[in-house]
Structure 1
Amino acid sequence: MDRISALRNVEDALADFESGEADLAATERRVVNVLRTYATEFEDEELSVYRASGTDEAAGVVVVAESASQARERVADRVDADSSAFDLRELDKP
């Protein structure tokens, strides 16, 4: 999914919420699913998607970065933890 498609899908979810066709919980699920799909189908040649695991704070954190070391720094900043406290795995590109 490219950025434009992701934005359109988020706009559709918001429009359904505004018109009363969807409640907040359903809208949140749709937006989260759009973001997850976008992140796992990220197609930038210079960037990769990484998922952290290990500590409770880092488990499931997904970041986009140019390298594993940059991804490790981003996760560590995000969860306010030492970068040795979690594992990191690059997600496969489609």
Structure 2
Amino acid sequence: MDRISALRNVEEALRAFEAGDDDLATTQQRVQSVLQSYATEFEDESRRAYRAVGEEPADGVVVVAADPAEAEERVRSRLAAENAAFDVEPL
């Protein structure tokens, strides 16, 4: 999914919420699904999406980075997870 498609899908979810067709939980689920799809299909020649796998609070966090070392650094900086044990894997 490219950025434009992702934005259109988020916009559709917001319209449905504003119109009263969807409740907040449904809207959140739709937006989260769009973001998950976008992250797993993210394509850039110099960066890619990585997921942290291991101890909380890092487990499951997804970041975009140039390489695994940068991805680990980004996860640690976002979560103050200096002591958490985790690996990163490409999505």
Q: TM-score, with normalisation over the residues of structure 1?
A: 0.91
Change in 2 beyond 3 A, CA 1:18/1:82: same
**2:40 maps to which residue?**
40
Percent of residue pairs bearing the same amino acid type: 58
- Give the conservation status (yes or no) of the 8 Å contact 2:50–2:90: yes
Contiguous gaps of at least 5 residues in structure 2 = none
> After the TM superposition, which of the residue ranges 72-81 and 25-34 deviates more from structure 2?
72-81
Quote how far apart the aligned CAs of 1:90 are.
Answer: 1.3
Match of residue 28 from structure 1? 28
Unaligned runs of 5+ in 1: none
- Relative to the length of structure 2, the TM-score reads 0.94
1:7 and 1:65 map into 2 onto residues whose CA distance is 21
Equivalent positions of 1:32-71 (< 5 A) are 32-71=32-71
Q: CA deviation at 1:84?
A: 6.3
Tell me how far 1:83 sits from its aligned partner: 6.9
Could you tell me how far apart the structure 1 residues matched to 2:42 and 2:83 are?
24
Q: Distance in 1 between matches of 2:22 and 2:72?
A: 37
